Amino acid sequence: MTQATKKETPLTLDVFTAGIWKENPVFVMMLGLCPTLAVTNSVLNSLAMGIASIFVLVCSNALVSALRHFIPKQVRITTYIIIIATFVTLVDYIIQAVSLDLYNKLGAFIQLIVVNCLILGRAEAYASKHSFTKSVVSALGMGLGFTLALVMLGSVRELLGAGQLLGYQVFSTQFEPWVVMILPPGGFIVLGSWLLLINYLEQRKTGQLIAADSASQCAVKAESFS
């Protein structure tokens, strides 16, 4: 393998933005669906889980990337899990100290960040193969994309399920809450609705690009015959 092949591609904005939309962990890659469906019954819970995931994702990716040349291949997965579990334990204690009520609402899903496919997958597929800076930037983008997805689900479920956003009343007292939205089935309903809308917009965008490309080719052919 030549030196040019080993050289890593430069850091670009796409490394950060890919995880926010193009490779969104929830809406595109369908990762971390367990906390996505379980804790998004309110915006506050969604934000808390998203911030906790960002912290664990960025810190674990940074450490894995920094130690990637020293971790034996035979024990790399075990090492990654130990690193992730260390930061999850730290987050667990921090949330308990900040708000015991929030900690009780999130329940066991804080500890389950250890086995979140998004966290372990980024450590194995990206951080172990890229530089420290690119790993941190990519992890931050992925974490923000995950948090965005959680908030999008949580805002709809809280708004329709309780008529509130972040605890503030949005609809009048005459509004009859859709209780199903804050129950587990509501998570599936809202996630499916968002996926339907996003796929529709993507297909519409693709169709417009194909139509524009076909129109330009027809125009070129017309000019060549004239």
Residue that is written with structure tokens 């790993």 in the block: 135
Residue 120 backbone phi and psi in degrees, to 5: -70, -35
Q: How many domains does the chain have?
A: 1
Range of the domain at 86: 8-204
The structure's pTM equals: 0.87
Give the pLDDT of residue 21: 86
Q: Is residue 223 part of a domain?
A: no
Give the pLDDT of residue 2: 38
Q: Is residue 70 part of a domain?
A: yes
Give the pLDDT of residue 196: 94
Tell me how far apart the alpha carbons of residues 142 and 200 are, in angstroms, rounded to a whole number. 23
Give the pLDDT of residue 35: 85
Q: Is residue 126 part of a domain?
A: yes
Q: Is residue 213 part of a domain?
A: no
Q: Is residue 2 part of a domain?
A: no
Q: Is residue 47 part of a domain?
A: yes
Tell me how far apart the alpha carbons of residues 22 and 144 are, in angstroms, rounded to a whole number. 13
Give the pLDDT of residue 3: 40
Q: Is residue 151 part of a domain?
A: yes
Q: Is residue 95 part of a domain?
A: yes
Mean per-residue pLDDT pooled into runs of 10, the chain (226 residues): 54 87 90 88 92 95 93 91 94 91 87 88 90 93 95 93 85 85 91 93 84 72 62
